[in-house]
Amino acid sequence: MRSPPIAPAYPRCPAGRVSVRPCQALLGGGMRRALALLFLLCGVAPAWAGEAREPKVGTFTFVLENDLFYDVDRHYTNGVGFVWIPDRGTPTPAWALRLAHLLPWFPDEGPVRHGYAFGQSMFTPGDITLANPPLDDRPYAGWLYGLVGVGATTGRRLDLFTFSLGVVGPAAMAEQSQKFVHAVIGSAEPQGWGSQLGNEPGFVATSQRSWRGWAEAAIGGTRLDLTPHFGGALGNVYTYADAGLTLRFGKRLPDDLGPPRIQPGLLGSGEFAPRAGFNWYLFAGIEGRAVARNVFLDGNCCRASRSVDRIPLVGDLQYGFVVDWQDLRFSYTHVLRTREFRGQGDGDDFGAVSLAIKF
């Protein structure tokens, strides 16, 4: 498709004889859903781990990003991604090798990996109950896309290139997706999708270079490492340059780049190398982007549409945790994003969960 220092501090329920309802209020509806998913994973993982281990063909990852975790419903309100990365022992297809060799900044040596993703993202104004949202608020928009990517590793350096192709507008079916989900959960039905951006084919090419474990330290029985990255995107959907850092802290750090995220953001990695037993790590990351185009703010490029005055410099701060048990990996990320357009009152908070399974 494309993915902080300490895990978020959740309120602790008072000890003693208390009812469940006050504790539920402290946790919040969205966070309870995330914790329920984690508990479900912990219940399933031991049975999965007890099965005989066989050679795997790849890693499938489901990614969900949503602002409902923090009881809001606005701006970047939902993103769903499905990622498939063939296992490290799988032969790399000829098209992926040719593409990697055509990219002048890719290394000539080192193994070439490839992967695929499919996803949908949706964006809304601040008040979804209005049939005619204010012209100075973010427009309704949807993005439905497929993605192919190649990566090459040389030592600790990872070069990643992805190409996404899809559609912006009603054909992305974001309106139907949001209305269906809101009907299921009993939330307010969005009223303003009639004003969304028009249909338009979209593409974006993304490149990123990272240095995993560029700096490392041992702290007692745990380790800490720092991974810087820089890159950019070019297309009629997104055009930007970015740079950032990711910090990981855990007992046995795997050779990944953190959990996967949906573009734009710290991409992370959809593939992981499982270790025996139960493992975990905490992470924090920061990224800055100089944005030259964002179709979801700038509007359609080939037809009249709504738009807002985009802020050219945007930053993300994310933090969370990763747990894995044999061939399963679960992660939760809290993302804080600075304001993206002029007139936006505050930055945005949303949560991201991912579940990866090796087959």
Q: How far from 42 is each of 35, 56, 277, 279, 321, CA to CA, in Å?
A: 11, 22, 13, 12, 14
CATH no. of 20-358: 2.40.128.140
**Banded pLDDT at 53 (limits 50, 70, 90):** low
pLDDT at 213 over 70: yes
Rounded to an integer, what distance in angstroms lies between the CA atom of residue 153 and that of residue 158? 5
How much is the pTM?
0.84
Q: What is the pLDDT of residues 127-183, one digit of tens each?
A: 999 999 999 999 999 999 999 999 998 888 999 999 999 999 999 999 999 999 999
17 pLDDT band, cuts 50/70/90, is: very low
Instruction: Assess contact for 291 and 316: CB atoms under 8 A.
Output: no
b or e along 111-149 (b: 16 or more beta carbons within 10 Å of the residue's beta carbon)?
Answer: ebbbbbbbbbbbbbbbebeeeebeeebbbbbbbbbebbb
**pLDDT-based confidence at residue 47 (cuts at 50, 70, 90):** very low
β-pairing verdict for 141-154 and 58-66: unpaired
pLDDT surpasses 80 at 285? yes
Q: What is the pLDDT of residues 81-115, one digit of tens each?
A: 999 999 888 899 999 999 999 999 998 888 899 99
Between residues 39 and 71, the one the model is more confident about: 71
- CA-to-CA dists, residue 306 to 60, 140, 292, angstroms: 37, 9, 18
Q: Are strands 112-124 and 58-66 parallel, antiparallel or unpaired?
A: unpaired
Q: How does residue 206 score in pLDDT terms, banded at 50, 70 and 90?
A: very high
Average pLDDT, the chain: 85
